[in-house]
């Protein structure tokens, strides 16, 4: 993509962000307008349907409380609202027994069982009814409790006498300070009638209130078989009038608590209307700005979404934005800002954060709409046909069908009728088709012919299956023998379709033999671990124990004591070295080594190792010949691990090299590799396998008289391979050669 096109894309992105944020800012800026518009649709708190339902529930609560005051005891809701059912429940067990005896005397045990089952069913219903009215009464108490502190109320008897007064002695019906008044009268049959209201549209208000009062609050708790028993129905208050009044201050306080102004935002519909208008404006601007950069959709994967997904996202964004009315109401009420203030934000910070939060939520639907228009804009750029094929799920499916059809066609076109298997399959299918076609043309006679054909086909398939099963069993038998450890098994017979498996089993046999050889070698190494390390660890440990015993003797002179301590120190260091080598090779073999790779000049590092070993080199009487390049050779290596490699190899030459001979250390670059060769003449005859010397606990000195853990070469090889190198050991007569190769990375 050229620089000019990239610059145009950036400008288009700036336009998109500007349009989306501008639309969001406009929505947030119109919050005061939304508040004023919604105020025109606000209804009084006492006109809300939920308020009217709670008011009727309050009748039941106040009637229950009045009955308890009059009787001076606690009355259960079941006893008050279902008095006849409570009386039925109190039938004594003696009466039930008398009825049982009477039935027994009449017609035996069957009718007794039927009677008892009926009684159990009725008792279960009464128990459920008692639980339901208890739950309902608790619910009524909570609902009316949310209102009773915000209104005055009185309970009047049937003749107008005040039974309970919660209006400070005022007559609610006569007082003019109440903006809301309602008198609900229950006659002797428990029918409610709205006697007085002072709200606008009093008839409609009374009708709504009457509907709540006439409905049975326990209707959902009745069982079908007891619907027509009046004594098991809810009994409302009787001969009582409940008068409610609410002053302007009380109404304002209740409105503040319940937040009924939220409904006015939804009723007005002003927020969705403005949002839809701005959404259309954003879509038009997106379409216009996209005309200046028609290549943006081609160069951006996010603008190549399928039409179905784009359409669904656009509809979802429209629905999401239209339902953000609650966010507007919550912000205008100050609830969002108050929550931030309670979180100890400064007032100015809380105000800014509340606005940013609103901007974010409004930017989401506008951003999705802008994106959807950009995605669908390509229909004008690439054409309707190309858009339907390349940018719709239907187009994807159509391309998949075409791809599948092409694959099937290619498969059929690759069938080689010269091939024996293909020819046989086609012959069988063709013959079967011809036979079935002939049988179908024989009408009813074809049924008998089809039966004969099926029998012949069964016999043929059975013979073929038995032959196939026999070959399969031979294959399975060979596989089981291999699984049991017989790696020399052979399959002589022809396995037909299973012939490829025969070759695979032969490969498995070869692989198993190699694996067994490796396992034997591994077991040998484990045996060497026990024997060699036992010997190597036991030698210094025995010396330590011996000299500790000598130090405990009383006649030891100071000179002897000092000599013993020096020997103890030497043997301890020897033991420490053996254990450290063991840990190093264990970590290397388990790939638990952490490499700290850095740029290392291996020429300087090798010289540094030679300086550190200069005293030992002089004592060995071996003439070291160094052939190192003058320039630096820098490789990404772990300096400590590489130092250990060189130290182990040079120490190996010092220990096992023949005195008064020469050792050659060469380093050179060739074919993209750095090659380091170390050659020396061995002091003892080289009778070991060169590949075994780099294994764990293998030593050139088979008698193990010289000091060494047998891990030096193994550690060196492991560290070389961990750093992507290769270490090779070569033996020629008494000449011992180690070659290290590292790739040169630029």
Query: How far is 626 from 663, CA to CA, in rounded Å?
Result: 9
Among 12-16, 262-266, 621-625, the range scoring the smallest mean pLDDT is 262-266
Q: Count CB-CB contacts under 10 A for residue 551.
A: 13
Tokens of 408: 């099937």
The predicted pLDDT at position 677 comes to 93
Q: Is the pLDDT of residue 417 over 70?
A: no
Query: How far is 387 from 385, CA to CA, in rounded Å?
Result: 5
SS3 209: helix
At 339-384, the pLDDT tens digits run 888 888 888 888 899 899 999 999 999 999 988 888 888 787 778 8
β-strands 192-197, 240-247 pairing: unpaired
Strand partners, 635: 600
At 298-326, the pLDDT tens digits run 667 788 788 888 889 889 988 988 888 88
The predicted pLDDT at position 703 comes to 45
β-strands 735-743, 726-732 pairing: antiparallel
Helix or strand holding residue 385 (H, E): helix 384-390
The predicted pLDDT at position 106 comes to 44
SS3 157: strand
At 29-65, the pLDDT tens digits run 988 888 887 767 666 667 777 888 888 999 999 999 9
> What CA–CA distances, in Å, run from 410 to 78, 220, 404, 407?
82, 68, 10, 5
At 610-661, the pLDDT tens digits run 898 888 888 888 999 999 998 888 999 988 888 888 888 898 888 888 898 9
> What CA–CA distances, in Å, run from 517 to 369, 488, 511, 591?
69, 15, 10, 23
Strand partners, 369: none
The predicted pLDDT at position 740 comes to 92
Question: Closest by alpha carbon to 289, among 169, 215, 371, 209?
Answer: 371
Q: Is the pLDDT of residue 414 over 80?
A: no
Q: Is the pLDDT of residue 525 over 50?
A: yes
User: Average pLDDT of 530-559?
Assistant: 73
Query: How far is 311 from 372, CA to CA, in rounded Å?
Result: 7
Cβ burial, residue 575 (10 Å; 0-12/13-18/19+): middle
Tokens of 323: 């339902």
User: Average pLDDT of 471-497?
Assistant: 72
Tokens of 563: 């000599």
pLDDT band at 4 (very low <50, low <70, confident <90, very high): low
**What pTM value is reported for the model?**
0.41
At 126-153, the pLDDT tens digits run 889 899 999 999 999 998 888 888 899 9
Does the CA dihedral 458-464-467-470 come out positive or negative? negative
The predicted pLDDT at position 477 comes to 78
User: Average pLDDT of 416-432?
Assistant: 67
Query: How far is 636 from 640, CA to CA, in rounded Å?
Result: 12
Instruction: Tell me the Cα Rg of the chain.
Output: 50
Query: How far is 718 from 648, CA to CA, in rounded Å?
Result: 12
Query: How far is 47 from 576, CA to CA, in rounded Å?
Result: 93
β-strands 623-627, 662-670 pairing: parallel
Question: Closest by alpha carbon to 97, among 79, 115, 85, 110?
Answer: 115
Residue-level length of the chain: 746
At 445-471, the pLDDT tens digits run 777 777 787 788 778 778 877 877 877
Higher-scoring residue by pLDDT: 42, 435? 435
At 86-135, the pLDDT tens digits run 666 555 344 545 544 444 444 445 444 544 566 778 888 888 989 999 99
Query: How far is 236 from 61, CA to CA, in rounded Å?
Result: 11
Q: What is the mean pLDDT of the chain?
A: 79
User: Average pLDDT of 701-721?
Assistant: 65
Question: Closest by alpha carbon to 336, among 318, 323, 349?
Answer: 349
Does the CA dihedral 20-22-26-28 come out positive or negative? positive
The predicted pLDDT at position 94 comes to 44
Q: Count CB-CB contacts under 10 A for residue 321.
A: 25
Query: How far is 35 from 643, CA to CA, in rounded Å?
Result: 79
Higher-scoring residue by pLDDT: 468, 669? 669
CA angle 109, 115, 119 (to 5 degrees): 145
Q: Count CB-CB contacts under 10 A for residue 190.
A: 13
């Amino acid at each position: 993509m050229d620089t000019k096109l990239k610059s145009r894309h950036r400008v288009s992105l700036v336009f998109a962000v500007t349009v989306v944020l501008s639309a969001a800012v406009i929505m947030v800026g119109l919050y005061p307008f939304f508040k004023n518009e919604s105020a025109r649709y606000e209804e009084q708190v006492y006109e809300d349907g939920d308020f009217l339902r709670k008011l009727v529930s309050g009748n039941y609560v106040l009637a229950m409380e009045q009955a308890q005051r009059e009787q001076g005891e606690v009355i259960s809701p079941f006893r008050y609202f279902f008095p006849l059912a409570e009386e039925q429940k109190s039938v004594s067990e003696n009466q039930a027994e008398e009825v049982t005896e009477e039935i027994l005397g009449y017609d035996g045990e069957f009718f007794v069982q039927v009677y008892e089952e009926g009684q159990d069913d009725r008792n279960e219903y009464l128990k459920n009814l008692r639980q339901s009215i208890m739950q309902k009464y608790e619910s009524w108490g909570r609902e009316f409790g949310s209102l009773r502190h915000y209104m005055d109320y009185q309970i009047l008897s049937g003749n107008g006498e005040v039974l309970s007064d919660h209006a400070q002695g005022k007559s609610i019906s006569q007082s003019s300070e109440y903006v809301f008044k309602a008198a609900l009268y229950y006659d002797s049959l428990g029918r409610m009638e709205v006697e007085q209201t002072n709200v606008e549209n009093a008839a409609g208000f009374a009708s709504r209130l009457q509907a709540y009062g006439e409905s049975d609050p326990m209707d959902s708790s009745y069982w079908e078989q007891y619907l027509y028993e009046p004594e098991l129905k809810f009994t409302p208050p009787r001969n009582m009038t409940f008068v409610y009044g609410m002053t302007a201050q009380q109404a304002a306080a209740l409105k503040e608590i319940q937040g009924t102004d939220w409904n006015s935002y939804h009723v007005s519909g002003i927020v969705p209307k403005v949002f839809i208008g701005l959404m259309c404006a954003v879509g038009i601007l997106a379409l216009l700005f996209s005309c200046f950069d028609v290549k943006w959709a081609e160069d951006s994967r996010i603008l190549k979404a399928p039409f179905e997904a784009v359409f669904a996202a656009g509809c979802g964004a429209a629905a999401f934005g239209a339902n953000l009315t609650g966010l507007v109401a919550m912000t205008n009420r100050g609830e969002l800002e108050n929550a931030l203030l309670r979180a100890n934000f400064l007032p100015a910070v809380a105000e800014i954060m509340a606005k940013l939060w609103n901007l974010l939520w409004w930017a989401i639907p506008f951003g999705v709409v802008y994106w959807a228009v950009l995605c669908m804009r390509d229909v004008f750029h690439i054409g309707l046909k190309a858009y339907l094929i390349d940018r719709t799920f239907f187009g994807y499916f159509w391309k998949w069908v075409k791809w599948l059809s092409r694959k099937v066609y290619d498969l059929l076109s690759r069938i080689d009728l010269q091939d024996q298997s293909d020819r046989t399959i086609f012959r069988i299918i063709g013959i079967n088709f011809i036979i079935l076609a002939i049988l179908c043309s024989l009408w009813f006679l074809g049924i008998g012919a089809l039966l004969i054909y099926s029998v012949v086909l069964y016999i043929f398939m059975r013979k073929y299956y038995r032959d196939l099963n026999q070959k399969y069993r031979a294959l399975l038998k060979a596989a089981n023998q291999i699984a049991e450890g017989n790696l020399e098994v052979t399959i002589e017979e022809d396995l037909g379709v299973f012939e490829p498996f025969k070759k695979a089993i032969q490969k498995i046999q070869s692989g198993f033999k190699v694996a067994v050889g490796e396992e034997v070698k591994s077991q040998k190494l484990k045996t060497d671990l026990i024997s060699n390390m036992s010997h190597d660890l036991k030698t210094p440990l025995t010396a330590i124990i011996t000299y500790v015993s000598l130090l405990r003797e009383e006649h030891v002179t100071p000179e002897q004591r000092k000599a013993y301590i020096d020997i103890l120190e030497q043997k301890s260091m020897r033991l420490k070295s053996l254990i450290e080598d063991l840990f190093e090779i264990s970590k290397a073999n388990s790939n638990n080594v952490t490499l700290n790779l850095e740029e290392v000049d291996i020429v300087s590092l090798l010289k540094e190792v030679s300086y550190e070993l200069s005293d030992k080199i002089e004592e060995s009487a071996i003439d070291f010949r160094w052939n190192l390049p003058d320039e630096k050779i820098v490789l990404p290596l772990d300096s400590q691990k590489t130092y250990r490699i060189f130290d182990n190899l040079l120490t190996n030459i010092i220990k096992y090299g023949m005195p008064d001979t020469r050792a050659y250390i060469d380093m050179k670059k060739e074919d993209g590799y750095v090659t380091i060769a170390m050659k020396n003449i061995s002091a003892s005859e080289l009778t070991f396998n060169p590949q075994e010397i780099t294994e764990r606990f293998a030593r050139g000195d088979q008698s193990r008289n010289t000091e060494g853990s047998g891990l030096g070469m193994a550690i060196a090889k492991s560290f070389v391979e961990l750093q992507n190198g290769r270490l090779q050991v070569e033996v020629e007569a008494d000449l011992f050669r180690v070659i290290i190769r590292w790739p040169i990375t630029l």
